[in-house]
């Protein structure tokens, strides 16, 4: 049975030492998002900047990690290089299971290493290893090297590392997790960079016992059957999320060429089917996931001075294809994969990087920036130029690329062009579905399309009732928050209803938590917003660039009045729910905090 107290490893890179803390709070915050906010409240410093050595970098898993299918994600929480506020990023891969096998609910890293280092942690050991020779090394090469250096516990081992983008503190720097997964958004890689941390190796070298009795086994079989033998998850492993490209283009909701249009006949060569037919090699999966939605394609490169080719594997999904493809006017699947491979190596978030380069292309067209800034001329559709520009952006080769790496709006403030910067809190996700999504992403907790179901509702609903729409956003959020507190893959949200989660929690012996799932969801939602607001979140300070008001979707032109009213009302409701202290300090179930 899982223990109720959280077992947290706190590492101070300044001293190279760590300690285990046992914390109460399981029945208040569950784990994942809730645990991360709890830990930030304990270790975060609201009076210090995001890059102060004291600020924590937090990795947290949930109570069902390792016990049920698709409980495969980890929450990474930190003060963002992008907006300096508390934020989260989520990733799959092997990390969640490695932490479970290392008997850790969370890893908290504070301090700054004296030299570029790799942190290695396991069930009973901790090491901070000097890896100064890895400076500027790309994330791919660093991953391969760390795998060889720390071969122990390879079965449940997870390897995190940053590329050059993280080392230079780019707000678009991601943390590469194992193969093909990332803590992509909001600049988590920069936090590792300022801590002088090139890599983190989690060796899951311990063990844990499954719950005794037949009830758990029966429930596990039922959940497993649902995710593998029914249609609930089929779309994720067949064409994968790339299957969305055609549908969103048909709905005039797919951003093309810096969102200058939302549909294009060139989609014919860029559908999920086209990617699968031309490039797909195989599917991959996060640990503990029998679905395997990770689509891995191939590219081949001619070996210099030789007639032979080397083959590389590159993962693709809907969002990276939108960012490195349609947003840049690139319509050849292999060319998209080449750009993505470069982004992977330099360690930048593909979505942020692609959207930023789309802005830079339009800024070039309008004469706001020149080759002096971009070094390589940028034109929509010129994939080779984008491959070079992605490298320049990740490595920050000049003042322009370093500024762009801190966010498109930062570059636009210096060079002009803020009106066509496709930024909704951060560089947009690939859903130009209309007003509700634009408002929801702008104010969403992670500025992610998965913060709410706005992108999905808007593909079916043309209504323009502000009250109903904001009610939907507010009502939809707790269900997502409880899943990210477990930490489930959000693709499994139709499987893990509140009722099913309660059954699963009871099966691992967490009866009190099982009895208060909706209350915990509401509590964590409020705690997360309170944490965010305490670090500077202000809905009124976030603006929506003019480009979004010029969009036309299947519902017709965007309504300025409706979009502004949605943003205002949603911001007001977020502040109101965060200000409601009624349930904040009251213990849920039997346990205090
Ligand atoms: S569905 Fe995909 S992202 Fe989700 S856990 Fe499985 S492999 Fe990972």
More confident residue, 586 or 202: 202
Does domain 6-203 fall into CATH 3.60.9.10?
Answer: yes
> Which residue from 65, 73, 89, 291 has its CB within 8 A of the most atoms of ligand 1, so it is best to mutate?
291
SS3 551: coil
107: left (phi over 0), alpha (psi -120 to 50) or beta: beta
Average pLDDT over residues 570-577: 97
How confident is the model at residue 157, as a pLDDT? 94
pLDDT tens digit string along 475-493? 999 999 999 999 999 888 8
pLDDT tens digit string along 367-411? 999 999 999 999 999 999 999 999 999 999 999 999 999 999 999
> Which residue from 178, 227, 489, 496 has its CB within 8 A of the most atoms of ligand 1, so it is best to mutate?
489
Residue 222 C-beta-side C-alpha neighbours within 13 Å: 13
Atom of ligand 1 nearest to the CA of 73: 5
Distance from Cα 399 to the centre of ligand 1, integer Å: 38
* pLDDT over 50 at 587, yes or no: no
The proportion of the chain whose per-residue pLDDT surpasses 70, expressed as a percent, equals 97
22, 25, 29, 34: CA torsion to nearest 10: -40
SS3 256: strand
Six-digit token string for 93: 């891969």
Q: How far is 447 from 427, CA to CA, in rounded Å?
A: 9
Find the angle CA(339)-CA(345)-CA(348) to the nearest 5 degrees: 75
Distance from Cα 313 to the centre of ligand 1, integer Å: 18
* pLDDT over 90 at 462, yes or no: no
Which residue puts its alpha carbon closest to atom 1 of ligand 1? 293
Average pLDDT over residues 546-552: 97
Which residue puts its alpha carbon closest to atom 4 of ligand 1? 489
Average pLDDT over residues 54-74: 97
The three-state DSSP-derived secondary structure of 500-550 is: HHHHHHHHCCCHHHHCCHHHHHHHHHHHHHHHHHHCCCCHHHCCCCHHHHC
CB distance 41 to ligand 1 below 6 Å: no
* pLDDT over 80 at 591, yes or no: no
How confident is the model at residue 167, as a pLDDT? 98
pLDDT band at 3 (very low <50, low <70, confident <90, very high): confident
Average pLDDT over residues 329-336: 98
Which candidate, 223, 217, 165, places its Cα nearest to that of 191?
Answer: 165
* pLDDT over 60 at 95, yes or no: yes
Architecture category of domain 231-392 in CATH: Orthogonal Bundle (1.10)
- Cβ partners under 8 Å of residue 273, min gap 6: 239, 243, 246
Distance from Cα 548 to the centre of ligand 1, integer Å: 31
Atom of ligand 1 nearest to the CA of 489: 4
From first CA to last CA, the distance across the chain in angstroms is 21
Average pLDDT over residues 38-52: 97
Distance from Cα 591 to the centre of ligand 1, integer Å: 33
pLDDT tens digit string along 164-187? 999 999 999 999 999 999 999 999
Query: Please, are residues 58 and 78 in contact by the beta-carbon 8 Å criterion?
Result: yes
Sheet containing strand 74-79, strands side by side: 17-23, 6-12, 106-110, 57-60, 74-79, 86-91
How confident is the model at residue 315, as a pLDDT? 97
Atom of ligand 1 nearest to the CA of 284: 7
How confident is the model at residue 336, as a pLDDT? 98
* pLDDT over 70 at 154, yes or no: no
pLDDT band at 586 (very low <50, low <70, confident <90, very high): very low
Find the angle CA(448)-CA(453)-CA(457) to the nearest 5 degrees: 130
How confident is the model at residue 1, as a pLDDT? 66
* pLDDT over 70 at 593, yes or no: no
* pLDDT over 60 at 290, yes or no: yes
Distance from Cα 285 to the centre of ligand 1, integer Å: 6
* pLDDT over 90 at 229, yes or no: no
CB distance 201 to ligand 1 below 6 Å: no
CB distance 72 to ligand 1 below 6 Å: yes
pLDDT band at 210 (very low <50, low <70, confident <90, very high): confident
CB distance 27 to ligand 1 below 6 Å: no
pLDDT tens digit string along 98-128? 999 999 999 999 999 999 999 999 988 999 9
Average pLDDT, the chain: 94
Distance from Cα 284 to the centre of ligand 1, integer Å: 9
Does domain 427-579 fall into CATH 1.10.599.10?
Answer: yes
Question: Phi and psi of 299, rounded to 5°?
Answer: -130, 155
When mean pLDDT is compared across 264-278, 422-436, 569-583, the lowest value belongs to 569-583
Average pLDDT over residues 231-258: 92
How confident is the model at residue 582, as a pLDDT? 62
How confident is the model at residue 583, as a pLDDT? 53
> Rounded to two decimals, what is the model's pTM?
0.96
Distance from Cα 183 to the centre of ligand 1, integer Å: 14
Q: Please state the domain extents for the chain.
A: 6-203, 231-392, 427-579
The proportion of the chain whose per-residue pLDDT surpasses 90, expressed as a percent, equals 88
The yes-or-no answer to whether 6-203 and 427-579 have a common fold is no
Query: Please, are residues 381 and 354 in contact by the beta-carbon 8 Å criterion?
Result: no
């Amino acid at each position: 049975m899982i223990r109720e107290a959280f077992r947290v490893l706190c590492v101070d890179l300044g001293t190279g030492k760590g300690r285990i803390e046992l914390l109460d709070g399981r029945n208040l915050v569950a784990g994942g998002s809730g645990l991360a906010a709890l830990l930030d409240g304990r270790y975060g410093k609201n009076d210090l900047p995001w890059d102060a050595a004291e600020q924590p970098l937090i990795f947290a898993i949930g109570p069902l990690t390792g016990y049920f299918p698709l409980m495969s994600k980890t929450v990474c929480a930190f003060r963002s290089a992008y907006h300096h506020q508390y934020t989260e990023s989520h990733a799959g891969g092997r990390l969640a299971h490695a932490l479970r096998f290392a008997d850790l609910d969370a890893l908290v890293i504070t301090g700054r290493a004296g030299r570029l280092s790799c942190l290695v942690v396991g069930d009973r050991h901790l090491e901070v290893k000097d890896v100064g020779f890895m400076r500027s090394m790309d994330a791919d090469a660093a991953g391969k090297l760390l795998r060889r250096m720390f071969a122990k516990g390879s079965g449940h081992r997870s390897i995190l590392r940053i590329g050059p983008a993280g080392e230079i503190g780019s707000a678009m720097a991601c943390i590469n997790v194992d193969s093909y997964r990332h803590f992509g958004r909001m600049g988590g890689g920069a936090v590792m960079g300022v801590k002088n941390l090139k890599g983190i190796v989690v060796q899951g070298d311990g063990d844990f016992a499954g719950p005794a009795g037949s009830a758990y086994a029966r429930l596990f079989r039922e959940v497993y059957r649902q995710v593998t033998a029914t249609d609930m998850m089929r779309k994720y492993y067949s064409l994968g999320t790339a299957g969305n490209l055609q549908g969103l283009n048909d709905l005039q909701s797919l951003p093309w060429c810096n969102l200058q249009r939302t549909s294009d006949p060139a989609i014919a060569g860029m559908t999920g089917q086209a990617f699968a037919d031309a490039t797909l090699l195989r599917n991959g999966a996060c640990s503990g996931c029998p679905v395997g939605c990770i689509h891995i394609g191939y590219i081949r490169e001619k070996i210099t001075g030789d007639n032979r080719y080397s083959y590389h594997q590159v993962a693709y999904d809907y969002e990276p294809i939108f960012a490195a493809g349609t947003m840049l006017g690139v319509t050849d699947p292999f060319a998209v994969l080449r750009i993505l491979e470069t982004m992977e190596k330099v360690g930048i978030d593909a979505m942020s990087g692609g959207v930023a380069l789309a802005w830079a292309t339009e800024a070039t067209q309008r004469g706001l920036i020149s080759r002096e800034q971009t070094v390589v001329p940028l034109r929509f559709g010129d994939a080779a130029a984008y491959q070079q520009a992605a490298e320049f952006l990740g490595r920050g080769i000049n003042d322009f690329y370093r500024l762009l790496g801190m966010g498109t709006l930062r570059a636009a403030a210096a060079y002009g062009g803020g009106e066509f910067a496709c930024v909704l809190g951060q560089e947009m996700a690939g859903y130009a579905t209309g007003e509700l999504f634009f408002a929801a992403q702008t104010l969403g907790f992670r500025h992610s399309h998965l913060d709410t179901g706005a992108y999905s509702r808007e593909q079916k609903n043309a209504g323009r009732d502000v009250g109903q729409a904001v009610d939907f956003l507010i009502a939809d959020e707790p269900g997502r928050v409880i899943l990210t507190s477990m930490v489930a893959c959000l693709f499994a949200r139709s499987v893990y209803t509140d009722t099913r989660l309660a059954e699963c929690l009871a099966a691992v012996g967490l009866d009190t938590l099982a009895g208060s799932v909706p209350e915990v969801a509401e509590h964590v939602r409020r705690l997360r917003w309170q944490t965010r607001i305490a670090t500077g979140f202000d809905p009124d300070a976030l603006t929506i660039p003019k480009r979004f008001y010029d969009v036309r979707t299947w519902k017709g032109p965007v309504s300025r009045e409706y979009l502004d009213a949605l943003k205002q009302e949603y911001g007001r409701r977020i502040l109101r729910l965060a200000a409601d202290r009624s349930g904040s300090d009251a213990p849920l179930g039997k346990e205090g905090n």
